[in-house]
Each structure stands twice: as C-alpha cells, then as structure tokens.
Structure 1
Amino acid sequence: MAAVVSWYGPLIDLSAAAGHVGGFVQFLVSVRRVLPHQEQNAATGRTYHRIILEVGDDTRSSFSVSLWSNNTSSTIVAGDVLLLQNIKIVEFRNGLEGRASQMSAVQILMNSKDLVQPEGIDEFIINCKVGNATRSKLRRVSEWIVHTKRTCAENHQQVMSKNWKERMKNDTTDFLSISELLPQSKPCNLNIYASIGKIVLMGSLSLELKGQSSVIEKHSLSGHNDIVRDFITTGCKLCGLPLYQKNLHGDSTYPIDCPDNPKYLHVIGQIYKPFMIYVQDQTGQVPVLVKNKVAEALFSNISADDVSECYKSRHCMLVGTCESGH
C-alpha cells in the first residue's frame, strides 16, 4: 500500500516493517494477545510497567508491539483494532518489534464486540472519523479478521479432537469468549468455553513473568521427574491453602481461620498445591487459579490423598527392590 505521511510517520503494513527500522511509523492492526510485562531500570532500580501486544493485519499475522502502561493501553483486550501512531521499529532478538515512545499515541478504533456482527462493520467504517487511507486499511483489516474467524471456525468443525467435548448448539448463548471476559472488572460468576493451553506451577511464577514453564516443559528440560512433590502438599482440604506456604520474606502466609468453614477451622490433609492453568479460545488467553477442589475435578476426581498414598506405596516398593538388589 502507498505510505501516507503525517506527523505520526507513514501508515504502513506490518509486512513493510523491515524497511523502516529505526524510524517512526503508524500501524492499523488487530490485537491477538495482551501480555503485561515489567522492566527494571538497572541504574535507578525503578520498575516500569509495559504491555506487550501481539498484533496482526492483512499482510502479516503476528508482530510484537511494546506500549507503556497507561489508561488507554490498560483497557486493550484481544480482538480490539488499534491505530498505533509514532511507533519506532527496532531490531530485537534477531527479529523486529515496535516500541512506543513518549510521542506515541494509541486509538482503539474498534473493540472486539464491534466485530461480533459482521453485518454492521461497513456502516461503522463509513462513520469512523479517520482519513481515506486509514479507512481503507481499516476495511482490509476488518475483512481479514472476519475471514480468519470464519476459517478457524470451519477448521475447528472439520478437525475436532477426540478428547474435546463439542459444545451443544443450544448452549452457545450461555458462554462468553475470553475477549468478552477480560473487560469484566467486578467479581461475578461467568461461563467460558475454552481449551487448556498449559499448566504452570505457582513456584515458577515471578514478577517479571520470566521463566514460566509448563509442567511438561519443566519435567522434560530439568530431568526432575518427581511430579508428586510439585503438585501435592499438606494443607486445608476446604480452602485449599498450603500449610507451609511462605512469602518472599520467608514468613508464613497460612491464615489462622479457614474462610470456607463456618467454624473457621482448617481441615488438614494432603491437597493439590494451587497452580495456574492458561485457557484459550480463538479470541485470546487468560490465566485461571486452580485450588484443591477444582484440581480434583480437573484430575478425574482423584483426590490428593489417593495420589499421595499411591506414590508412597510405589516409592516403598522401589526402595525395597533396590535394597534387595544390593
């Protein structure tokens, strides 16, 4: 497409980013994923909050853009269509990414809900207060989004894994997509229909969100295969909190009272340690905290006590075999 030059830089396709390294440009893109991120200044020790967006357009399906966290960027969710202005193209880890500066601007032209009904998109684009070149790009990106969603839906119907439970047609109105879930700011009960992407142990989480490993990745890479120690511990069977849980300072965070018992007493036993599962659908991904009771349901109603007893008996058998072998 022809570049339209303004104070914000030329409006370019993502596929043309390599020709603008070191320069400032405009992008009109669809948000695929939103990842919060923290960086620490080595000189001052101050922590800066940034938001990493995985975006795409009709010329390139994936590209990373880093924004400063502010009132506008904090409201961005997967599925939004953005006009990013004054974004600098930089080389990063043998690739390219866009980085916001103090002069950058972000406009949310369309949110994920505007694209739910394709019939109303044309009217929305016509009434959008942007220039002709931007409107033309907005139309192409919108058509690309609709086409991509339709293709994903068709492929999902054609290639249905045997381990997946297909949603009943009459239940579709009872479930939200993840992009509709993210804007919810008040505590409430909602239903979503999504698949589990990976399980992340709480012990591997860090403030910088670095080094997150799924259970499979951890046990494949480290050679440590005692998965029971990672999942089972002593704690309260009702509230699901570990008995020996500590904070970063080494102090115990175990509450005196159990919030799930009318008598405020903990019921001590073997429990599943709290862990995170990342669930995803076509619109995005979100982490979900899983505690003991939910973990039991997730693991085919097998209790932590049963897992622990099975592990102990098997461990004793292995020890006995080794001793007899010597």
Structure 2
Amino acid sequence: MAATIGWYGPLIDLCRASSHIGDYVQLLVFVHRSTPVQYKIFKNGGEVVRMDIMVGDETRSYFPVTIWEKQMSTQVLAGHVFLLQNLKISRFGDVVEARALHCSSFQCLLHPNDFVSSKGLDDSIGKCRLGTAAREKLQKVVGWLNRARLAHCGSVLNYYEHMSQVQVNWRMPEEILTQDCSSLSDVSECRNSCKATFHASIGEIFLPITWTNLREAENERMFISRRLHMQGGNSLIDDFITTGCRICGTPVNAGLGSSMEKNSIPLYCEKSSNRLHAVGSIYRPFLLYVWDDMKYVPVLVDNNAAEVLFGNVSAEKVYSSYKIQKNHGPLSSIDGKNLGIMDKRRGSSEPNYYIIWLILLKLLFKHGKNSPLKFKVWVDARRDWECGRLQMLSVSFPAFRRIA
C-alpha cells in the first residue's frame, strides 16, 4: 500500500532502533517471515489478533515487528522488501520491537521475482519512487541480500522448504508412536497422530481470554510477555489461574456463548480412573508459541503441562501464596529478593510460590535462539494448529531444577 501521509520520523538502520524508544521511525527491510497469532473460541470461529513479522537489513539480520491493525495484517509478505512507514519503537524488558499503529503504512519495493536477474533487479530498483536516502538504503539492503543469498530461491518460504528437504527426510510409519524431529518443519510434516520431540525457543505465551468481553484495545492483555513488564499487573494471576479439574485441566467456566457452550466442564473426567473430577485451582489452558530458524508454531498447554513448564509449581500453591501476600502485605515486585512468605494463621514461613512463579514465567522468555528447550508433544492430526494440533506433554530445561 503506497503511503498517503507524511513521515513522522527518520529512516533508521535496525541496529539503531534501541536509540529511538518511543519515537516514530521508517524502516526499509527484508521480510523473513510473517506469522499470525490467532485463536478460535468456538469450532467455527477465529480471529487474527496480532501479526508478528521478522525483518532484517544490512545492520541487523533479525528484528521483530508487530501489527495490530487487522486491515494491515495481510499486506506484508515474506520474501519481499518493504518500506515500513510511521512505526513506533517500543521496549518490553530486554526486547526492542517496532509496532505498526493506525497511522502506519507499508510500501512493497521489491518482489522475490525481481531477484532472478541482475538486469531485472536494477530495473525494479530504478522504478521505485524514493528519495535519495531511501534509495541508498535500498541498495544496501539489496547488497546484503545478495551476499546472504536470502532472496534467490523465489521467496523466503521456498527457501525454508528447500532447506527442510535438505535435512533428514523421514516418513513416520503408523506403528511408530514417538518421533524425534530435527526441526519444527519436521513436526509440521506429521500426517498421523503421534508423539514427537523437538528443540525450540519460547517466543510468546498467548492466553485466550474468553470468559469476559474485551475491547479491541485490550487484546494485548492476552500476550503474557508484554504484561510481565507492565506496572499494576496483579490481575495476571486472576487471568492465569481459575477453578477446574486438576486431572483433565478443564476450567469450570471456560468461555462465553450459548447455554450449551457455557456448560463447558464435562460430566465425567476422561483422564481420571474413577471418572470423577478433582476440582481445585488450575492453570487455564493457553498457547505457547515456540520457534526455531524455520517455523513458529503454537503448542496447547493444559494444567498438568503448565505445572511442568513452571518448575512443578502447582496453581494451588501459587494462588495460596498470592492470597496470603495480598491479605498481609503489599505484593512484591519481580526482583527475587523475597522468596519467603509468613502465614500468620499458621505461624510459619513457607516459600513464596507466587513470586517464584513470576520469576519462572519471566525466565521463560530469557531463552534465546541459542538456548532452545526440548519439548515432547502429542500431535493430533485431526485438529487445526490454533485448536491444539500440538499439545505439550513435557519440557526439559537446560539448567532448571525441580522446586519442592
């Protein structure tokens, strides 16, 4: 989409983004991948809530951009070179990103086919209506792409598919129940239901808030990495923990809708030996978005898997510590200095599982590209990706130990 409004800030290199926190900027970049983060409340429903794109230039190979405007989410395609106009630079903890707002606009400068021949590439660059600074930046980005050979496979998606074919090529026999996968691309090739193991890093925790009506401006509440760095985030515990079955992980009241949909907890527990629910505090089901060099996929996490993810700290312990601390003193910040809590009713001190849980939650996003975790999941070939096609069974942490 061509720009219809003026520039609100300078054209910058990605390596300079951290110097422009809170400012509007222009970015001329190559798009590595474009991933919608979406959820489905009911069987036939679905909504794209946020589009995550990974871009790069000659100064920084990978840089995240988020798009919240629905009409913009389909405009940015992987494998293309774009001029992204009027984006705002934001920081969340250690992460610096660019964010598209209502005043942002996108202009596609080069398509994958433009890189087929040098003459065709020169002609396409010559047709771009750009100022001197933007044209010089475009030449630098093109030079980087030629050196890195990122744009010579027709599109970056074809490049990823080509690389996945070069890797171990396996076809899982139906009788094999567990498959060790070398990448998320291998996991996506599973056509039959099975167990699969793979290494990946955690990019986001997405908590579908279906038990209340959110305004569109409140959608960010469902992205946990953002909320960990916001002030006044005590409602996080109320969103994460609810009443439900500790065995099957089904909340008592999971969503809105018709009277049939509101009666969400089944009469019998499918995972219990006596078919009875064990009602208590549980972690609500959420989507864990994991990624490697080639893919970015959602993994459904229920109560039991969430306990493993959170260092074997149960929702009961977290919520109990939260209530004690809330009733007998101000809620501590996530600084790790107060890991004990005094229960005046019992006259004893016990670990502050609420603060421990917050620290563990924050540490999940510390694992970068070079320190992936090992996941074991159940692949349900009958389900869509956003409805639990991958369901987490366990995860191995490089340096985490169990908390008693």
TM-score (norm: length of structure 1) = 0.49
Rg: which structure is higher? Answer: 1
TM-score (norm: length of structure 2) = 0.41
